[in-house]
Amino acid sequence: MRFSPLPKVVTATLGIFFVLATIAPLPFAIVLPGQAQNIFKGVITIKDLENYPASGRIDLMSIRVTNPDTWIFGPELIYSWIDSERAVYPKSAIYPPGTSAEEESKQAKADMVGSQDKAITAAINYLQSHSEILAPINTDTKTLVAPASVIAQRRADALDGKKIKFKVSETGGPSGGLVFSIGLVELLTEIDLMQGRHIAGTGTISDRGVVGAIGGINEKILSAKKVGATVFFAPVGNAEEIANTPEGIKVITVATLAQAISYLERTRK
């Protein structure tokens, strides 16, 4: 079967559209894996509260996203679709309409502070409602000045969020809440929950310890694997999005802080 060639006008029109698609800015955002930050190294400061060194590492994960003022051009968009480490989203799915880079930066910083405050409250609420985890261990009961349960309750009553501070650089947003709260539970108890493990995770946290979904879940898992994490805590709300998990890292989906702590307790050697 023979086909007639396209009219020159049609060919020219298609060519113009192709060129425009290549050079015209497009309303998309590109998401890439970001950095990992061990929160046990210079991130958390605890003053005038009993605290204990962590034997492992837990990472705060981040993603890199093109800012709302950036327009993506055709070649970069095609490359990002091909590159397995990049994800392409409509800009409207990432940023509210009309958001500027400056506004987004301010909001991200405010969200980060909010996530830290909620993480402190969630960790303290958890410890006070599970005061047995604060009981002294590896101590001769004959030398205790009070029963272990009494000491545990005293420690729970003494917890004060004002004595806990965070210092996080170059990271914004609310998604560090779960990791912050796990880290605080580890540092404020004698029990070695980490046991030398390298853990990472993401998820928002509420004052009551409820874990919320976040964006860029697969990029964060990939970043965690690259830095050596073997366990990754993810919000149960992101479960259906998780795909192509790298070999060597176990993803644990949780709905609450209590579930994350329970997993660490159950898997201690």
- Indicate the average pLDDT of the chain: 83
Note whether residue 98 is domain-resident: no
Note whether residue 160 is domain-resident: yes
**Overall number of domains in the chain:** 1
C-beta separation of 219 from 189 below 8 A: no
Q: Which domain holds residue 117?
A: 33-65+104-266
The pLDDT of residue 14 is 45
**pLDDT, tens digit (0-9, with 9 covering 90-100), for 85-133:** 667 667 666 667 766 767 767 877 888 889 999 999 999 999 999 999 9
CATH number at residue 135: 3.30.230.10
The pLDDT of residue 109 is 81
**pLDDT, tens digit (0-9, with 9 covering 90-100), for 56-77:** 999 998 877 766 666 666 666 5
Note whether residue 261 is domain-resident: yes
Residues of the chain with pLDDT under 50: 1, 3-4, 6, 10, 14, 17, 19-20
- 156, containing H or E segment: helix 148-158
Q: At what angle do helices 177-187 and 101-129 cross, to 10 degrees?
A: 40
The model's pTM is 0.80
Note whether residue 120 is domain-resident: yes
Output DSSP code: residue 245: P
Note whether residue 88 is domain-resident: no
Note whether residue 55 is domain-resident: yes
Note whether residue 14 is domain-resident: no
Note whether residue 24 is domain-resident: no
**pLDDT, tens digit (0-9, with 9 covering 90-100), for 78-90:** 655 566 666 766 7
Q: At what angle do helices 177-187 and 257-266 cross, to 10 degrees?
A: 50
